[in-house]
Structure 1
């Protein structure tokens, strides 16, 4: 229910705000706002995967000892590292945003876009430190606590965004109204969690120097290194695309792709409401050698996801005119072929989410990272020429095919190959013991 609350507001927010922003501020300013909301996807793992490394460590500790007492010092030290990383990303991100905006020679209102993106970056960096507490809660299979706060933040964001649009429609105020409330909610979640579960340790903790903190948590940092590779892969294969479209096709083209993707963006959120708890579930099944159950779970999730995507996607394609006349305020001419390629990529992304949860839980992060990095490199090599020599329609075709064949298919092979080998080994062990 907590996931439905949070993810539901995410879906409602995008579907409600998209037509309102286009109607109130216009297509170009909608493109500005959309790019601003993508800052968090460009920096997909701002902590270099450190907090993801915490999940497995805390989950193992809680499973073996029934407590996280021995891991509290590491958690607090990682919290300090995340604050340092937030400053690092703000400085580096500010430079990259400045350079990017200055390359948009054909874009008007460059200063307004620059200020909007910098606001988004600052708010995002503020939100880096409290992500740790949601990771710890996830490791304890209490992810619903952070998800509830996430829902509260998104509900507040929708409410404040509507106020801005109706009372004082301005792109920078809208950016703050959309992005800041979830960050405030994340801090509230962290405060309540630490006061309830870690109060004494938090008060008595003595901060080490940055060097000492890094040395003391090398095991977590090593695990996080592979998540950093995944971050790079995600940037190359997905997160950079809207910015490349803006560079080669203009901000209005960014708006077009955003609008036609809106209904499809909701599909993975609807289908993978379970994703906040899936990682530790796979970890527990792995620890108990319940490999057959893991395979059944993955197969059932993939089958139901595929069926839902085909049904929902078919509805969008059949009723595309009324849907996109509403979302895009009749400003765009939508092609059915574009919708098909977006549907294919949405299918691939959704199934890959399931595989990624499994691979992360059973320590296949290295193979996961290499697969996604390979796909990302292929994507960037193909997408740039597609945009430069072709058009937005060619981009949608090639980007979907690349993700399907170079991310989804290898992920399925890795996951099922690992599960099947473990099932085979366990069966051979049973036969050996029975012979004895």
Structure 2
């Protein structure tokens, strides 16, 4: 093993350990947040909150994939040790994001007063409170999309653990804030929403100032209008647009689940679904933690022609996938016991929903094992086509399962699993061809 491979492996090991530490803390906080939130809000209002934030999260597609485009291009510039080019990529991305988010917020502010959120969310909350709440959520969301570019930067620099620290602080201070709210005399979804929405913006603002301060090792990346270079827009957007379409497909498949459930079932069903999703997300989050350092490392290794290291990495990741398969089965078996300790015995989750969600996580992690590599080397055209097909199939499939079967909320999970199986077939084939050097045509795009 040469020195570059040793350096790559050591960097990934350090990042993985730190990611597990801080992401573990973030996961713990997010799990504690659910019972505390249910203690402050009732089950129905919490379901409304989950659905509303799912809808608002659709705005994330307005980044037109620019964030992932920056992630790969910046990693390439760092690999070539071109600081000027790196700064131009960062500056261009920041100012384009600011312009996009201003447009999004102005458009939303114009149409928001005409939307009847009580009908959309099937709630009977005060109309004024819902209008204020949606304004605050959208404003904070737009700010986060801009400021979160700092997280993409540290990931491109192969220091994703720093992003994990920021996420941990989000969850920790949110948990503390909601816990303090439980000591107030009356519940308020508006107050809850303000606390949860504003905290991440404050933390990200502080981190951006810290990252780009004059004494920082990364001060050369500080965004500057003079470094804005429109010639880089094509390279960022050509790659970013493909990621953009993939992101839209992901939103259609995953972020619409809560909306479908609240329309066909109830807001309480949204809460049940999200409890199960949160429980099994332990596996997908931990596996994602392990994969995260590999994205930019794959970019750098593939750019530098270090294919042997890539092959060795796949072997390690495959063994880890087998390990998470075993752990997921165990989580399915002990789920009722964990729910009773975590949330109390009044929460009743169908066994079928647990089994199907476990199956969903297993498929998702299998896909991500290969997709992270393909994303890192920008070979995403097949993924683009596959995502479009999945986005088209997902809702009709969910509707048919809800209407013509007795699976209930589990129909949503079944639909998601069937759609993900499409990627499970072609992704490992493409990766094998690329690593072996036999990829041609669409397999190499």
TM-score, normalised via structure 1 length: 0.85
Is there any run of 5+ residues in structure 2 with no aligned partner, and where?
1-16, 441-445
Partner of 1:351: 366
Structure 1 residues 101-116: aligned runs within 5 Å: 101=117, 103-104=119-120, 106-109=122-125, 111=127, 115-116=132-133
Q: 2:68 — aligned with what?
A: 52
CA distance in 1: counterparts of 2:130 and 2:404, whole angstroms: 26
1:127 CA displacement: 0.5
Alignment of 1:1-400 (within 5 A): 1-39=17-55, 41-64=57-80, 66-92=81-107, 95=111, 99=115, 101=117, 103-104=119-120, 106-109=122-125, 111=127, 115-167=132-184, 169-195=187-213, 196-197=216-217, 205-206=225-226, 214=230, 216-311=232-327, 313-390=328-405, 391-400=408-417
Partners of 1:143 and 1:276 within 8 A in 2: yes
**2 CA distance for matches of 1:104 and 1:38?**
12
Distance 1:198 1:303, change over 3 A: closer
Distance in 2 between residues matched to 1:20 and 1:284, nearest whole Å: 43
**Distance apart, 1:382 and its partner CA:** 0.9
After superposition, the Cα gap between the structure-2 partners of 1:259 and 1:218, relative to the gap in structure 1 and judged at 3 Å, is: same
Residues of 2 paired with 1:352 and 1:42: CA distance?
22
Q: 1:375 to 1:164 in 2, by over 3 A?
A: same
For residues 279 and 303 of structure 2, what CA distance do their matches in structure 1 show? 38
Equivalent residues of 1:44, 1:234 under 8 A apart:
no
Deviation of 1:421 after TM superposition, in Å, equals 3.3
TM-score (norm 2): 0.84
Paired residues of 2:67 and 2:152 also in contact (CA < 8 A): yes
C-alpha separation in 1, matches of 2:61 and 2:217: 26
Q: Which region of structure 1 is more displaced relative to structure 2, 283-292 or 359-368? A: 283-292
- Matched residue SS, 1:206: helix
The number of residue pairs the alignment matches comes to 417
Distance 1:185 1:140, change over 3 A: same
> How far apart are the structure 1 equivalents of 2:64 and 2:323?
35
String of CA shifts for 1:29-79, please: whole Å, max 9, x gaps.
121232244356534444111121122222222212x24223313321221
Structure 1 unaligned spans of 5+: 425-436
| Contact 2:37/2:178 (<8 A) preserved | no
Alpha-carbon distance, 1:308 to partner: 2.2
| Deviation per residue, 1:376-410 (Å, 9 max, x gap) | 2211221133335553132322322222x223333
| Range that drifts further, 302-311 or 48-57 | 302-311
Which residue pairs with 2:419 in the alignment?
A: 402
1:204 is displaced (CA, Å) by: 6.5
Change (3 A) 1:338 1:43: same
Output the CA distance in 2 between the equivalents of 1:197 and 1:228: 31
Alpha-carbon distance in 1 for matches of 2:309, 2:325: 24
- How far off is 1:231 after superposition? 1.3
Any idea what SS the aligned residue of 1:334 has?
A: coil
RMSD: 2.9
- Distance in structure 1 (CA, Å) of the matches to 2:157 and 2:346: 47
Contact 1:260 1:324 in 2 (8 A): no
Contact 1:107 1:250 in 2 (8 A): no
